[in-house]
Structure 1
């Protein structure tokens, strides 16, 4: 057995799978696993169980900016990613953001100059180190309201994700100005001609300053989430995109993090990840595998647990299963 080879799988909250059920094999294995004390729910809390971040209040925008550009020190940052919002009878919904919009350098060259004055007049500098990742540079002491992360808001009614308070009103006004500029911009007609949705809004999120330190025992990370990859790199590890399945990832010594938080198909999760991971643990190809869900649940799988025949099969707790 490779005693220093461990795996951590980050999963979404069990509730996102609706009434899908665990397979009998996994239910039995989870029932025999070691259940860790429940942690806090939420994406930030989940990542904080893997990484130690000082100060505890941290900024996704500053972290990804530092990883991408390396100039995050000395300022506050806010992600202002290009987005597609669709009105409906009840308001509007966020249907796409960043990479999901099929953006390229031509989009940046067309849209960014029109938007810069909107924020520049307020004292904020807007730039785009990549077509999908746009940033606002703010004074370090800037007071920011709470903004929702894209994964929390995608598909939701935007009214539920508006920033509150006096500072929130200021940012709502700036966002309205930006939406008017984008709505009237001729570039979106050209995008439509190519079968692409318009970039008709920006999504503001992840505001704050760079933490003093980021530590973690993760040697490598497979994730499609820029924040998780940034944390791994800042902690001294390697990061790459998530493969299609566990079989496509060559195991290496040390700790490997698999970020599966965007998965919504439990059958595919069983087939491509959980069952192969269970097999790897059972065969001794890794010492342990921790299953960490966004609702705070944690289970640790180890090979010797297969002898716990008296344990009942595990099932998704009712409180987590409620939608």
Structure 2
């Protein structure tokens, strides 16, 4: 007789509210209603920290992604200085896009970086762009950087409100203002706007820190198209893969970009739950960014008294 499987899968989902009023399919609502549910801390960082443990504690995204992009991450403190598009308004300037959303190519990125090098080099923090969407400032390893907001959490927000206060904040504001002047005057932006692309008229500072001494995870395989998750997997020694088009196999599946609930049910939740019902997997873990968390186990199929789950965000 074959031994019971111990294989499992974890599905990372966005906050349930991102799906609006869409309804769960009956095939998903039934097992979800019978599953074990608990509430955890909400937020992108808290969600990822449930699956990747770092020592020392912190959230040095710049150093982690630098390790993915280049081989020099342990040598310095790193800060992301990603290309950004901001739009001035009466109260300041609001972030509308950054990084990948700007669709920069290598030639464009290098042209912008060349204009910025003297400013940041004179400030003792060289700037470079190993990938067109990810720009970095290199600082001495002993440098301390105040926490700064990730662009995903600041879309639509005022640029300067997300910089540190006090003398350190004044330093970053001065550097940012000088960089904005250089970018605004850059001829590459005229070419981009003529092609219907947004200009690169600012930078977004965030993710500062040094590479952690240790990153661990329980997931041997991590399926994701998002750079931070892939970087965490690489530093933790897991096997990183692009996200497949539907559920198959084991490991961590990063589905946080999904917004179509029917597609999520048909391609991911239903086949994952079937794998538990059929004994192919021992468990499936569903982790939402809002902190809602379900664990599905095969014996739960006998919980006939439990009603199917109602609205997904209930």
How does the TM-score come out when normalised to structure 1?
0.88
1:10: which partner in 2? 12
Distance 1:302 1:261, change over 3 A: same
Distance 1:92 1:71, change over 3 A: same
1:164: which partner in 2? 164
Alignment of 1:300 onto 2:303? no
Distance 1:305 1:112 in 2: 56
Q: Deviations over 1:144-169 (max 9, x none)?
A: 22211122123x22258522312223
Distance 1:160 1:28, change over 3 A: farther
Which shows bigger deviation, 18-27 or 282-291?
A: 18-27
Aligned residues: 311
Q: Deviations over 1:193-249 (max 9, x none)?
A: 333221111121111111110111211111121111011111111112223332xxx
Distance 1:116 1:2, change over 3 A: farther
Distance 2:307 2:147 in 1: 42
1:140: which partner in 2? 141
Distance 2:152 2:290 in 1: 14
2:41: which partner in 1? 40
Alignment of 1:289 onto 2:284? yes
Q: What's the C-alpha RMSD, in Å, of the aligned pairs? A: 2.2
User: Alpha-carbon deviation of 1:301?
Assistant: 1.2
Alignment of 1:265 onto 2:260? yes
Question: What aligned pairs does 1:118-129 form with structure 2 within 5 A after superposition?
Answer: 118-129=119-130
Which shows bigger deviation, 53-62 or 233-242?
A: 233-242
Alignment of 1:232 onto 2:233? yes
Distance 1:87 1:23 in 2: 44
2:76: which partner in 1? 75
Distance 2:200 2:138 in 1: 21
Query: Could you tell me whether the CA contact under 8 Å between 2:110 and 2:129 is conserved in 1?
Result: no
Any idea what SS the aligned residue of 1:298 has? strand
Q: Deviations over 1:103-126 (max 9, x none)?
A: 111112211110112212221110
Q: Deviations over 1:248-269 (max 9, x none)?
A: xx42xxx511111122232332
Distance 2:4 2:202 in 1: 49
Distance 1:271 1:88 in 2: 43
1:28: which partner in 2? 30
User: Alpha-carbon deviation of 1:303?
Assistant: 2.4
User: Alpha-carbon deviation of 1:276?
Assistant: 2.3
Distance 1:243 1:11 in 2: 15
2:309: which partner in 1? 314
2:21: which partner in 1? 19
Structure 1 portions without partners, runs of 5+: none
Distance 1:78 1:70 in 2: 16
Distance 1:63 1:2, change over 3 A: farther
Structure 2 portions without partners, runs of 5+: none
Distance 2:89 2:198 in 1: 16
Query: Could you tell me whether the CA contact under 8 Å between 2:246 and 2:268 is conserved in 1?
Result: yes
Any idea what SS the aligned residue of 1:221 has? strand
How does the TM-score come out when normalised to structure 2?
0.91
